[in-house]
Amino acid sequence: MAQIEHRRLGTNGPEASAIGLGCMSLSGIYGEADDEASIALIHDALDRGIDFLDSSDMYGWGHNETLLARALEGRRDGVVLATKFGQVKTPTGQGVDGRPEYVRDACEASLKRLATDRIDLYYIHRIDPKVPIEETVGAMARLVEAGKVRHIGLSEARPETIRRAHKTHPVAAVQTEFSLLYRSEAEETLRTTRELGIAFVAYSPLGRGFLTGQIRDPADLKGDRRGQHPRFLPENFARNRELVGRIEAIARDKGCTPAQLTLAWLLAQGPDIVPIPGTKRRERLEENLGALAVSLSPEEAARIAAAIPVGAAAGTRYPEGGMKAVYR
């Protein structure tokens, strides 16, 4: 593997590449994906020094983990492998299950699909409001004791939930959406994770692709699930595209791409932040890694933040149903 900057996940967690790879799009979430091309992409990421891979048992409902097992055959050592549990299919769609017995069963199923004997970072994907977080995390702690999980994490948890969880067992990382477009909840969460010595893993750091500057019209998302997200709907698109244009202008001045500027801004917020942009394309992978070479002064970082003030984006970050399941 190539040598790139690494950051520690939590006080006693593993060191991981400062930019990870979010693998959700490799399972057909944002349009079709090709397994062989996806495996080649993961190999390329590893060769370039990205050793932090992020999956979930609900990405393709098992497909993503099986794909990672194929990609990591003979290359598992040295990789910080993260996956998640908790989102489940129900007769009416999707639900959340944080019961201790489900935690155990979900872990066993993920280990089998991943063809590994341990998960480096195991998250609850969404918080189950019907189960005290202490019970869910208590079951995750038993997985750590059994050697099946090395470190635990939470996804989309609000500050009070994080505190309760951390009292039950040390939390290495909290994963929440964090980008220039959507950061009010993330910045509130960040104050708590910093106080407790927990790493912040930023998913969708490029605003689900909006901040790359590549999405210029709602029609660009035909056949893509992002077209259903409020930020991309016609009534919100023009406003958000105008905000992205501000980042494009600063990027031109800086001599980098909008994606690189956006990731560099996140990295500049502190060494406890690790963004995990996802992509299906090698050229985007290379572009994202280029953010590590973009140095921002405090004045430049402040200018970037001021270009898209907190709360300036139009539309919520998920459709109504999805919003009910986040930040709780």
| Cα–Cα distance measured from residue 42 to residue 33, given in angstroms and rounded to the nearest whole number | 13
Phi-psi region of 199 (alpha: psi -120 to 50; beta: other; left: phi over 0): beta
Structure tokens at 1: 């593997």
Give yes or no for a contact between 226 and 298, defined as CB atoms under 8 angstroms apart. Answer: no
| Cα–Cα distance measured from residue 139 to residue 101, given in angstroms and rounded to the nearest whole number | 8
Beta-carbon contacts of residue 12 (< 8 Å; ≥ 6 apart): 170, 172
Write phi, then psi, for 232 (nearest 5 degrees). Answer: -100, -5
Give yes or no for a contact between 313 and 240, defined as CB atoms under 8 angstroms apart. Answer: yes
Please report which helix (H) or strand (E) contains residue 15, including its range: strand 15-17
Question: Where are the alpha helices (H) located in the chain, listed in sequence order?
Answer: 35-47, 63-71, 100-114, 133-145, 159-168, 184-196, 234-254, 258-268, 282-289, 298-307, 320-323
| Cα–Cα distance measured from residue 39 to residue 306, given in angstroms and rounded to the nearest whole number | 39
Burial class (CB in 10 A: 0-12, 13-18, 19+), 301: middle
Per-position DSSP letters for 85-146, written without gaps between them: E-EEEETTEEEE---HHHHHHHHHHHHHHHT-S-EEEEEESS--TTS-HHHHHHHHHHHHHT
| Cα–Cα distance measured from residue 188 to residue 284, given in angstroms and rounded to the nearest whole number | 30
Q: Which residues are catalytic?
A: 59
